[in-house]
Structure 1
């Protein structure tokens, strides 16, 4: 009787575990895409975890939005310290000269405490959405109301809706994931 050949454990690559500080499927899939594009020869397992951003549900301004992303990464690390990377993604809005634009911050932490961070591109929102946000509504809820959708923040979001799908939210966030990974891709010059 022949036994199956054992795999050489050294030949198998260990999957690195990446914890995303959100259960939002877009944030999980963009992290998966970004990590695999940045490190195409490595294997990653991406998991979402519900953690607090410790900021308002709709962050206003760069500082609060960055803090939300940082807190999501930090709190993910606190809850699940066995991972290889922790990722926080937080969408925010900012007012400028009477108009409002949207963006997101990405923060990535590794076990050594190294931090990678990046911000997505920005885009301006129509007044009808801006007025709802100023009235206390989250961007996702405002999108749902204006465009007669349900739970758009777990789908293509404002960027996808306003561009008629020309900008895919997953790819929009994935670019910022890759940019936040620059310090981990260039370890010798980012100390």
Structure 2
């Protein structure tokens, strides 16, 4: 059984990570522990590089906190241009996998507030009336009428980041 450290305590992210690992490695193949670590970037990262750096740093800090695990995983959500997206970083003792998620265009009224310094989650919670929306369906759920959720989009990106760990061509 793989011991997986999630560098988050966000339920939407943990669900995505667990589902992807079980899809690739089999049901019951992993035990996940969630740890709270800093990203080293602002609460709302702006730009591709800052967001990616936040995910990489979360993995590093999680690895330092739990060095005996088999995998360390981080998901960092950010804003780039007029969209929201995330970076997934997964490491084990031998390799690293990274993937960027799909992007969601944001309405101008929401984007303006985020670019002025507010984090997307609280802005969306206020706008939608859904408390702690970032721990639930997220902006993605609201703007896709529930057809996609934050967790479902993260799930896809986690699967992509897992590619180097189960395909022999990467070895």
Question: Given the two structures, how large is their TM-score scaled by the length of structure 2?
Answer: 0.96
Tell me the SS of whatever aligns to 2:52: helix
For residues 40-87 of structure 1, give each alpha carbon's deviation from its aligned partner in whole angstroms, at most 9, with x where no partner exists: 266101121000100011001110000111111111000001110000
Larger radius of gyration: 1
CA distance, structure 1, for counterparts of residue 83 and residue 151 of structure 2: 19
Gaps of 5+ in 2: none
For residues 151-191 of structure 1, give each alpha carbon's deviation from its aligned partner in whole angstroms, at most 9, with x where no partner exists: 111111110111121102212111110100000011x3224
Moved over 4 A (4+): none
Show the counterpart of 1:52.
38
Q: Does 1:21 align with 2:7?
A: yes
CA 40–161 in structure 1, closer or farther in 2 if over 3 Å, else same = same
Q: CA RMSD in A?
A: 1.2
Show the counterpart of 1:124.
105
Show the counterpart of 1:148.
129
Q: Which has the higher helix share?
A: 2
Structure 2 residue corresponding to 1:173, chosen from 136, 142, 154: 154
Show the counterpart of 2:96.
115
Show the counterpart of 1:8.
none
Gaps of 5+ in 1: 1-14
